[in-house]
Amino acid sequence: MGIEADNRFAQYLIIQVLTLVSGYLAIFIDMGIFTFLPMVIFLMASVTLFRSLGVVLHSNADSLGLKIRFGKQVEEEQTRRAKEQEISELSTQLYKLCNANKVEKAWELLEKRLLDDHFSSEADIFARISKYENPDLAIKAGRGFIERLIANHEIRKSWDVLAFCYTAANDDYILLSAESVIQLSANAETLNQKKMIVTIIQHFEQDFPNHPKTADLLLTAARFRIHDLDDFDGAREIMSHLYSAYPIIRSDNKFKALESILAS
């Protein structure tokens, strides 16, 4: 059984014990009008000593097999359980609404909850609603979740959420912002990720009209089709569209390189 207490605490404890003993012995010495001083010292040393012992017992409760009823650890555990219970009750409400085809009502309830706790429970709630038979609420909630994950540089997690939403939406998914498409296209690594982002990029013009990065993104989609997805016909369609709709791209070295690959 190991009891944790640093050297400073041990030194402090020794001083307290010595002070307590000294105060106790001094009580029996006649000091005239100062006789009350040893008593005060004795009482103060007693209080601080037992307080210190209480701190040691509280800090080592697990190793000593003691049950703690109060303290920061207990308070945190109670808060965690209360939050978990609250989320479980919310999940039950959302599930019933989704099963009754009241997805918009469920979304209003979910959005309010997320705003109230500043999205701190978003990951937990999304994990629950993504298991519903009706995926519509998760598909809708996923858009904002992906935005916040990307903003927090949690790119891998954002891909996981996108993969679920993309599949649940039958490979037809629109992200909330052009910046999210740009960030994900720059961080696509696996074949599945590149397949998803290529599909999303191909309706980027309709989703975000006149965006200055449209041509660059389409060029990225063409590159993925050629180098990763072995889809030369799909790449030719993109390149042909780029050639006619964005003539300035013709002088781009990446465009020329892809064009020469398709021509060979």
Half-sphere exposure of residue 215, counting CA atoms within 13 Å on the CB side?
Answer: 15
Say how far apart CA 6 and CA 134 lie, in whole Å.
Answer: 56
158 and 87 part of one domain: yes
The sign one gets for the Cα dihedral 30, 35, 39, 42 is negative
Does residue 103 lie within any of the structural domains?
yes
- Say whether both 112 and 155 belong to one domain: yes
Give me the sign of the Cα torsion angle 53, 55, 56, 57: positive
In a domain, 200, yes or no: yes
Predicted local confidence at residue 49, as pLDDT = 55
Q: How does DSSP classify residue 32? A: G
Q: Looking at the domain assignment, is residue 2 inside a domain?
A: no
Within a domain: 73:
no
Q: 63 lies in a domain?
A: no
Domains: count for the chain: 3
Range of the domain at 114: 82-170
pLDDT attached to residue 83: 78
Rounded Cα gap, residues 155 and 161, in angstroms: 10
| Same domain membership, residue 144 and residue 101 | yes
Closest to 193 measured CA to CA, from 241, 157, 141: 157
Q: Are residues 197 and 139 in the same domain?
A: no
pLDDT computed for residue 264 by the predictor: 83
pLDDT score at 107: 97
The whole-angstrom separation of Cα 185 and Cα 171 is 16
Whether residue 32 is found in the same domain as residue 17? yes
User: Mean pLDDT for each consecutive 10-residue tract of the chain (264 residues)?
Assistant: 52 60 59 57 59 57 54 61 87 96 96 94 96 96 97 97 97 96 97 97 96 97 96 96 95 96 91
Per the domain annotation, does 160 fall within a domain?
Answer: yes
In this prediction, residue 3 carries a pLDDT of 46
pTM value is 0.71
